[in-house]
Chains A and B, each alone.
Chain A
Amino acid sequence: MTLAYILVFVVIAAILGVATRRGGRLPVLLVISALAVYALQPALPVRGLDFWLPTLTLGLTVLGWVLTTPRQQRIWRGNWPAVAILGGIVILLGLTRYLVFSLPLTASNPPQILLILVVLLIVAATGFLLWRFSKPGKLILSAAFVFVILIFVLLKVPALSEWTSQVLRGWNGQSTLLASPLDLRWLGFSYIAFRLLHTLRDRQSGRLPTVSLSEYVVYVIFFPALSAGPIDRIERFVGDLRRPLLITSDDYGEAGKRLVVGLFKKFVIADTLGLVALNATNAPQVRSAGWAWVLLYAYAFQIYFDFSGYTDIAIGLGRLLGIKLPENFRAPYLKPNLTQFWNNWHMTLTQWFRAYFFNPVTRSLRSGKKKFSIPSIVFITQMGTMVLIGLWHGVTWNFIAWGAWHGLGLFIHNRWSEWTKGRFAMLPIRWQKVLNVGGVVLTFHFVAIGWVFFALPSLSISGHFLQTLVGWR
């Protein structure tokens, strides 16, 4: 999100917060969020794709609602306005192709309106068939779950993305030689996918509350949290949506504070550190271990301030609209061990993985026929969770290494905690404080070294840089 978009969103949120006090917040949020999906999508070299990907976001979201809503709750009367709004937005945006001036709502000129209508018709027909004839059974929900993950894999595996780009370029009559994995940059899909998966899984387990189509779509594509999270839970989000909108001066104060802090973190601190932070270009150029550490520290703080800055902005915008988005960061670099670090870094993501991978796998390993030792269970679940979190960022060896680094760290910390349980309790307070400070320093450096795999594109470049860090090169 650029500064200009953020400022526009602040103004929109502030106006909405006041204008929709007496009602109408939900449809207005639906319109603004749907428009934001298009507006924030970056331009792509594959013709029309920067229109089709946001359209697919809306289509998938609508189908997600149909699949997760019990048949008796799929009431046309209550939900047709949302269908009309979303369809209308797609058609109106498509019609902007014929304007003599360009609007900043789509990254490039939309495709032919006839083509848009045909695609809308296909989505509508699919939706209708599912609406009429499907029920949220285990099979169809599992199929939908796998489908979302397949799209995710398609976007995150560079070879597959490139292949898809070649196919799309071929359809468009564009040169397939220029295909690149970057051609498929789908704004916010990582977060959208997690919200969809959350609702599909919760429907399977019967925990999903019944929500209207508008509520569901606004939850999935809520514009402040579209590009960088946090990943809220639907029952909490919809609870806020259903509450009467009453923005107090406390809300304005808190929103203002979060917005100012977020903007400062992102555009002053993070962007400044970005000038000197570790990257694929400067990593092989560094001549000494000392400067290598400086670049790595710059990266560690850049990524924190960038990400937490965006979260502050999202929380601030949400607050202006009466939505209390969950926190995502709580001073993670000041935590004395890796477990606490992960409890306070990108918290909504770790909570998601805890709920949908770590806990179920732990339960399954504990209650399965084959008996595993506690350390084995801890190792399998920690390692599996962290490697999956790595893969969420991209299906490359570097992200796997990053995940494995943290998985191993968490396992070691778990065993260390088990071993030291009660042993340090007898130490004088002063020594415990020293240990705490030592833990903070050690944890920060463990995390910082892990960022080498995250920041650099290949294991060989990462390996070389790690050698520079320890003075071997």
Chain B
Amino acid sequence: MTSRFLRNVFVKGLVLFLLINLVFVVINPVGLGRISLYNSVFPGRLRFPFGEDPAQSYNLSLFNLDAMFASHIIAAEPKPAGEYRVVVIGDSSTWGILLRPEQTLAGQLEQAGLKLCGKTVRVYNLGYPTISLTKDLMVLTYAMRYQPDLIIWPMTMEAFPLDSQLTSPIVANNAAIVDTLITRYQLPLDPRDPAFVHSSTWNQTLIGQRRSLADLFRLQMYGVLWSASGIDQSYPVDYEHAQTDLVSDVAYHGLQPPTLDESKLAFSIMEAGLRVAGKTPVLLVNEPILVSAGKNSALRYNYYYPRWAYDQWRQMMKQKAANQGWVYLDLWNLVSADQFTNSAIHMTPVGEALLTGRVEQTILQQSCP
């Protein structure tokens, strides 16, 4: 080996490195997430990838909707003729924090083995932990590609404040998708909001994309342990239970009693979701919350909600549902306080079963096309 040879190797390596980065910016392979080993080498996941402790949960959070759907069992094959497809969107309660996939609302409905309109009901869990209607709208818009026959949309008031729509990292990191939704449905969000993470040219290079590419790769690798163990979440032996002794503060996202300002809530984003669904029936569910009996429970229901704000929001929902003919189930107090786990909206399998029972009754009342 001569020094000239070594110099050439170095220079060529450097040029190739720069060239590959440049090509990566130019071709901008946004659809890379659609390439997935799930549903081919590995079985599809029963819920979206999400996890803060990958080494324990064999799962991780990423912001690539293509990759999330590609890893989900809903993308396994085109919808069979005999399937009545139900998708359940929503927050961490739908996704099933501390629940195994079969213990969630979607899981229990799936296990019920329902038949509807002469077809077998298949239920897909498309919930994603973080509370934001904009996030739900994003997921629903994508989910429509999979031709659902029914959409179940459990929600809670915390998803409505406009000031918290972009706090969900998956929303903030999908500025282009949200921008399209803002324009298309005239959403009351500012596309120039600093919470959005905009992609610079540097971020589009191979180096700039290294973290998201590594996440995509790791998601595929964790397919091995997902397949081997069926585990997609870590289940701590012990956890901190939802708060029942509450603060005396009655403000809600800066709003003060006695009147809840409707203009500060994202009803229009929910309505955009209903427009996205089009003719596909949507079952809106006000999901059960923990009703505390502890300190200051006369002022607040739980960690999230002062009573005055929550009561008024429920009234608004009820009024709108009646006026606009929505199929709406208000199940806010269906589940007793002892059936909640680490949050005022996360339930035990027993709590989920109660919810499932009520949702199931409503599903079976659906009229066939």
A residues apposed to B, CB below 8 Å? 249-250, 252-254, 256, 272, 275-276, 281-282, 285-288, 291-292, 294-295, 298
Contact between A276 and B225 (Cβ–Cβ < 8 Å)?
Answer: yes
- Given A282-B229, A285-B231, do A249 and B224 touch, yes or no (CB 8 Å)? no
Residues in B with CB closer than 8 Å to A254 are 1
A282 touches B228 (CB 8 A): yes
B139 CB, nearest partner CB in chain A, Å: 27
When the two chains form the complex, which single residue of B2, B56, B218, B227 contacts A281, counting CB atoms closer than 8 Å? B56
- Which residues from chain A contact B230 at a C-beta distance below 8 Å? 287
Which chain B residue has the least Cβ–Cβ distance from A292? B228
Cβ of A292 to closest chain B Cβ, rounded Å: 7
> In angstroms, how far is the closest chain B Cβ from the Cβ of A145?
41
B5-58, CB < 8 A from A: 5-6, 9, 54-56, 58
Also in contact, A276 and B224, with CB within 8 A (given A252-B6, A256-B6): yes
Q: In the bound complex, how far is the Cα of B36 from the Cα of A359, in angstroms?
A: 54
Within the complex, which residue of A249, A272, A276, A291 is in contact with B6, where a contact is CB–CB below 8 Å? A249
Establish whether residues A285 and B6, one from each chain, have CB atoms under 8 Å apart when the complex forms.
no
CA of A295 to CA of B227 in the docked complex: distance in angstroms?
11
B224 touches A286 (CB 8 A): no
Contact partners of B3 in chain A: CB under 8 A: 249, 252
Instruction: List 21 A–B pairs whose Cβ atoms lie within 8 Å, in order of A's numbering.
Output: A249-B2, A252-B1, A252-B6, A256-B9, A275-B221, A275-B224, A276-B222, A276-B225, A282-B58, A282-B225, A282-B229, A285-B228, A285-B231, A286-B229, A287-B228, A287-B230, A291-B224, A291-B228, A292-B228, A294-B224, A298-B224
User: A282 contacts which chain B residues (CB < 8 A)?
Assistant: 58, 225, 228-229
Q: A249-B6, A287-B228 are in contact. List 12 more A-B contacts (CB 8 A).
A: A249-B1, A249-B5, A253-B1, A253-B5, A272-B217, A275-B225, A282-B225, A282-B229, A285-B228, A285-B231, A288-B228, A298-B224
Q: How far is the CB of A230 from chain B (nearest CB, A)?
A: 24
CB 8 Å contact bits of B202-228 with A (1 = contact, 0 = none)? 000000000000000110011011011
Contact check: which of A256, A291, A298 meets B227 at CB < 8 Å? A291
Which residues from A are CB-within-8-Å of B228?
A: 282, 285-288, 291-292, 294-295
CA gap between A294 and B42 in the complex, in Å = 13
Q: B224 → chain A, closest Cβ, in Å?
A: 4
* Secondary structure type dominating chain A contacts: helix
Q: Which residue of A lies closest to B218 (CB)?
A: A275
Flag if A287 contacts B229 (CB, 8 Å): yes
Task: Decide: A253 near B224, CB < 8 A? Known: A286-B229, A287-B229, A287-B230.
Answer: no
Question: Which of chain A's residues has its CB closest to B56's CB?
Answer: A281
Query: In the assembled complex, which residues on chain B have CB atoms less than 8 Å from the CB atom of A281?
Result: 55-56
Residue of A nearest to B230 (CB): A287
**Within the assembled complex, what's the spacing in Å between the Cα atoms of A291 and B43?**
13
Given the interface pairs A253-B6, A282-B229, the reply to whether A272 lies near B221 with Cβ below 8 Å is yes
| Nearest 4 interchain pairs by C-beta | A291-B228, A253-B1, A285-B229, A276-B224
Residues on A with C-beta less than 8 A from B55 are 281
Shortest C-beta distance, A61 to chain B (Å), equals: 36
Assembled-state Cα–Cα distance A282/B1 (Å): 47
Contact of A250 among B1, B9, B218, B225 (CB under 8 A): B1
Assembled-state Cα–Cα distance A298/B166 (Å): 40
Point out the residues of chain A lying under 8 angstroms from B229, CB to CB.
Answer: 282, 285-287, 291
Chain B residues with Cβ below 8 Å from A285 are: 225, 228-229, 231
Question: Whole-angstrom distance from the CB of A98 to the nearest CB of chain B?
Answer: 39
In residues 227-261 of chain B, which contact A (Cβ within 8 Å)? 227-231
User: Would you list which residues of chain B between 303 and 351 have a CB under 8 Å from chain A?
Assistant: none
- Bound complex: CA of A250 vs CA of B4, how far in Å? 11
> Which A residues are CB-close (under 8 A) to B54?
275
A282 CA to B231 CA in the complex, in Å? 10
Q: How far is the CA of A292 from the CA of B227 in the complex (A)?
A: 11
Q: Provide the bound-state CA to CA distance between A221 and B217, in Å.
A: 38
Taken together as a complex, chains A and B put the C-alpha atoms of A76 and B146 apart, in Å, by 83
Q: How far is the CA of A253 from the CA of B2 in the complex (A)?
A: 9
In the assembled complex, the Cα of A282 lies from the Cα of B54 at a distance in Å of 12
* Alpha-carbon distance A249/B9, docked complex (angstroms): 12
What is the bound-complex CA distance between A298 and B224, given in angstroms?
10
In angstroms, how far is the closest chain A Cβ from the Cβ of B51? 13
Give Cα distance in the complex from A351 to B201, angstroms.
54
**What chain B residues lie within 8 Å of A276 (beta carbons)?**
221-222, 224-225
Which of B2, B54, B222, B225 is the most central at the interface, judged by chain A CB atoms within 10 Å of its CB?
B225
Q: How far is the CA of A82 from the CA of B56 in the complex (A)?
A: 48
* Interchain CA distance A292-B217 in the complex, whole Å: 21
> Within 8 Å CB of A292, what residues of B?
228
Do the beta carbons of B1 and A275 come within 8 Å of each other?
no
Kindly state the separation between the CA atoms of A3 and B294 in the bound complex, as whole angstroms: 52
Q: Quick check: A275 and B6 within 8 Å, CB to CB?
A: no
Per the bound structure, the CA–CA distance linking A427 and B2 in Å amounts to 47
